[in-house]
Amino acid sequence: MGCGKTTLAKKLSARLGYELVDLDHEIEKQAGKSVGEYFALHGESAFRELESQTLKTFPYQQNSIIATGGGTPCYFDNIDWMNLNGLTVYIEMSPIALAKRLENGKAKRPLLKDLDEQGIVDFITQKLEERNPFYRKASLVVNGISLTAESLESLIPSL
């Protein structure tokens, strides 16, 4: 959350002429409701099942960039499936850097909206501790502080 996954995916797909697939948008189309609404009605477990199913059955074009949610790699065998079917990228940033990016837009994020700055840092720190074992399985681990689509493109093998 806040590392720039969606923004970088949009810019990189435009640079490369690849299809962009935003997994959350595809889930919303399939479910007929927002991710937040789906969570509220069916709970996280049902959402994670739908997310995994959508990830693995979407009809991707050969050259596609997929922007996933931050939790996607952490459930079922999603990270292993993603690594078998493409190149995965973990955009790594510190909790403090992520909190600074998220502070102004926290009203749009239900998990953050009631937290102060330290609360956001604490929340992110906890999530990263839980998720880093999965994130670290990515094909590429890159520093997100000054990452651009151009610099990311240069790190991708065989482009």
pLDDT tens for 6-34 read 999 999 999 999 999 999 999 999 999 99
Confidence band of 159 (pLDDT split at 50, 70, 90): low
Query: Residue 62 falls within a domain, yes or no?
Result: yes
Query: Residue 156 falls within a domain, yes or no?
Result: no
Structure token digits, residue 76 = 């079922």
Q: For residue 144, what is the domain's CATH number?
A: 3.40.50.300
Query: Residue 73 falls within a domain, yes or no?
Result: yes
Average pLDDT, the chain: 94
Q: Residue 98: which H helix or E strand, with range?
A: helix 95-103
How many Cα neighbours within 13 Å face the side chain of 65? 21
Q: What residues contact residue 131 under an 8 Å CB cut-off, 6+ apart?
A: 70, 71, 73, 74
Please report the pLDDT score of residue 32 as a whole number. 97
Q: Where in the sequence is the domain holding 120, given as residue range(s)?
A: 5-150
Please report the pLDDT score of residue 109 as a whole number. 78
Please report the pLDDT score of residue 105 as a whole number. 83
pTM of the model: 0.92
Give the E-state strand segments of the chain in sequence order: 19-22, 64-67, 89-92, 140-143
Query: Residue 140 falls within a domain, yes or no?
Result: yes
Confidence band of 36 (pLDDT split at 50, 70, 90): confident
Please report the pLDDT score of residue 59 as a whole number. 98
Query: Residue 158 falls within a domain, yes or no?
Result: no
Please report the pLDDT score of residue 63 as a whole number. 95
Decide: residue 113, CB within 10 A, 0-12 exposed, 13-18 middle, 19+ buried.
Answer: exposed
Query: Residue 88 falls within a domain, yes or no?
Result: yes
66-112 pLDDT, tens per residue? 999 999 999 999 999 999 999 999 999 999 999 999 988 887 776 78
Query: Residue 159 falls within a domain, yes or no?
Result: no
Q: Give the pLDDT mean for 147-152.
A: 96
* Structural domain total, the chain: 1
